[in-house]
Chain A
Amino acid sequence: MAELVVGSLPRGDDYFDQKALIEEVWGRLRKDSVLLVAPRRFGKTGLMFRLLDAPRAGFRPVYLDVESIDNPANFIIEVLARLLHDDQLRRVVQGLWTGLKDIRDWLTSVVEEVDVGEIKVKLREKTDVPAHWRMYGDRLMSILGAAEMPLLLLIDEFPIMVGRMIQKKREEAIEFLRWFRYGYQQED
């Protein structure tokens, strides 16, 4: 039996009465990206988790809450770590480091045993992603574009992250938005 969840996130049967909205979102996602716009507490995150918990065939959803991120490098690291932690997407992403033996070896031997946090720490400490986030971002978009399974990135609190980036380094934030727009337009 469904329970009323106040403020917090409804999962499973507790998310109810939004069938039409869910159908519409899945329908749009087959053609394009979707921007959910609504005031706070209107159920955007709940909808995202519904898509995450009950994905339609052909989609591989990954959820990211990026509210606390304030620079592009950490955004890329967050995405990479989530993908590397996913059994089906890992192999695709590992191709990014074909030229770096140490990290490639670590990714192939250890990554299945560790959790997403450890992966993020490794990416920050042992790779050049923080210094070359744009390059990794471009390559990631390219690799994902070539993959057969469409990745459904559920990015929560995106505007807040962009706001924080602007506050911290305006030029870098603008570059990030350019990259994001370009990658989104180029890849399917």
Chain B
Amino acid sequence: MTVILHHYRPHLDKPEDLEAISVAREPLLDEMFARLQRWEPGASRQHYLLIGPRGIGKTHVLRLLQHRLSNVPSSERKWFPLSFAEEQYAVTSVPDLLIETLRSLAEVSGDRALAERYQRVRRESDDQAVVDLALDALRSFCKARACGVLLTLENVDRLLQDQIKKDAQIGLLRKILIEEDWPVLIATSPTYLSDVTDPQKPFFEFFQVVVLDELSPEGVETLLRKRAELDGDNDFLAYLKRYRSRLRALYHFSGGNPRLTLMLYDLLSRQALTDVKIELNGLLNQLTPFYQDRMKEVGPQEAKILTTVALLAEGVTPTELAEECRMDRTLVSALLSRLEKAGYVHHEPRARKQTVYTIPERFFRIWHQMTASRHARGRIQYLLDFFSTWYAAPEERDEVWGRLLTQFREGAERGGDAGVLTLIASLKDEADNVRGSTAAASGRNAINGAVAGVVNAIPDLAQALNLRADGTRVIDAGFFLRAAFRSGNLEVVQAFVEGFVSGIDNGEEAFLPHRIALDFLRSNRDLTILSRQSPEMREAVELLVSTFDQKEKGD
């Protein structure tokens, strides 16, 4: 039986279902639960701030903690967990928050005195009176039951910075959390907020901050397995075992983000993987609201940095970013540091003491590329990234490639298959970007010389093309071309070159595959792949080239 999970609203899910798919958050949950259960009135209370990007599992953790506390036998029960809606737009002050606390606690506990106090203060215009009277009632309730109240506030960054705003009010909230014996606050935020890092702010270093990390590859696998088990989907479990590369691809794209992993599961478990482009666009459509929200939760400058990192070649230095964004390098470094602390970017050491930053969730990068302007260089890169990583196992790629090739051949014979032609049109867009730099080249010798020069001068070219010159990374330029090079002996390269020259000799604009081949040669520095053998792929590429050539000539 398929279990529906609400990816954006986990509070609507059954706690049992959330328990069933819980991965990697157990130590944190156990620690918070045990600490709360050890508490006695008058003892220390630990307030927490959970930080992590959307979908990392903050709400999931809160929901499970609430569930576990609520399930403690009544004789041992010490806490009334209260959850507020994730978007508390109506709360703009501490009195508002206390009124909501009264209402919620009265509802959960059924306590008449609380309900009466709520009715008394809910329309009280004197904020001081609201605070004083609400606190009296809450204090009295907890004292009588020797219990505490667990307040969980999601998106506390928005609440403090956009809604409550005033330091006096935030100071009042701190005062309540210190003075009163009953509340424990667990807040969440997608980023570090100045309210806890600025020494002038009331909540400076007030919380125990817990950064929720993305899942490890093993964590992603466990999550998918648990999710499939919840559905009783044995086919999917078998599929996972068979296509291990899909797991790697899932991890690659999701960056270990649990919500994203679960969304990918939904897609994979319900759709046949027959059309790569539809599959990819389907995923991206589903992810659009997710990523739109994510961009809203970072500041404008951080958003600019994130977008730029996504659109540039993978792995960018702070200096490059500063130039690209026209921002001060120190500011860029500070913004990158904030983004990294919150899990949006990672840094990796590279050669020559350089540090480059990447976005761990490739889908986030792909989404940016997709939404960039049509002529942006990344426009095609997203398709190629997806294609080459998703089908990481050679046999899978061959299978899909064979299917695509058949489609292409049939489409070409019928006069055009829309899907394939769209793909080619996209590829051609990319080819147009490099047209200017290759148009000057003419003649077989010149091209052969260029190819040899490219191969021999890879490190210098990589440097000139602003690529990472560490010799380990290959720029994705289309998996079919890479596969072509894997056929070895540069025969396919020669085929591309001959076609290219032939086109020029005939006075035509250079054909797309040849342009991409040259572009690939420019960027590819991993010569080892040329030694591998894949005759089927070579045949496929040659067929594509020849068919394309014929089509172009026919037009």
Interface residues of A (CB under 8 A from B): 3, 5-12, 14, 39-41, 45, 53, 63, 65, 67-68, 70, 74, 114-118, 120-121, 124-125, 156-157, 160, 164
Contacts and interface: CB of A to CB of B under 8 A. Distances in A.
Nearest to A9: B178
Give the 6 A-B CB pairs with smallest separation, nearest first: A117-B132, A115-B136, A117-B136, A68-B172, A6-B208, A67-B171
B539 interface: no
Contact of A41 (B43, B45, B177, B205): B205
A153 to B, nearest CB: 14
B139 A8 contact: no
B46 interface: yes
Contacts of A11: 42-44
B47 A120 contact: no
Given A8-B207, A68-B169, A68-B172, A121 B133 contact: yes
Most buried by B among A41, A53, A117: A117
B136 A116 contact: yes
B174 to A, nearest CB: 7
A8 B44 contact: yes
Which size class do B's interface residues fall under? 20 to 34
A118 B208 contact: no
Most buried by A among B35, B169, B175: B175
B265 interface: no
Contacts of B206: 7-8
A114 B136 contact: yes
B179 interface: yes
Nearest to A65: B175
Given A41-B204, A70-B168, A164-B168, A14 B43 contact: yes
A67 B131 contact: no
A120 B179 contact: no
B128 interface: yes
B199 interface: yes
A115 B178 CA distance: 18
A45 to B, nearest CB: 6
B394 to A, nearest CB: 50
A9 B45 contact: yes
Interface of B: 35, 38, 42-47, 128-129, 131-136, 139-140, 168-169, 171-172, 174-175, 177-179, 199, 202, 204-208
Contacts of B133: 117-118, 121
A151 B177 CA distance: 24
A115 B133 CA distance: 8
Given A6-B208, A7-B206, A121 B46 contact: no
A8 B48 CA distance: 9
Nearest to A2: B44
27 contacts: A3-B38, A6-B207, A6-B208, A7-B47, A7-B205, A8-B44, A9-B45, A10-B44, A11-B43, A12-B44, A67-B168, A68-B169, A68-B172, A70-B168, A74-B128, A115-B135, A115-B136, A115-B140, A117-B131, A117-B132, A117-B133, A117-B136, A118-B136, A121-B132, A121-B133, A157-B171, A160-B171
A53 to B, nearest CB: 8
Given A6-B208, A8-B207, A117-B136, A67 B35 contact: no
A179 to B, nearest CB: 22
A67 B203 CA distance: 12
Contacts of B140: 115
A110 B403 CA distance: 85
B179 A65 contact: yes
A114 B113 CA distance: 13
A14 to B, nearest CB: 4
Nearest to A119: B132
A18 to B, nearest CB: 15
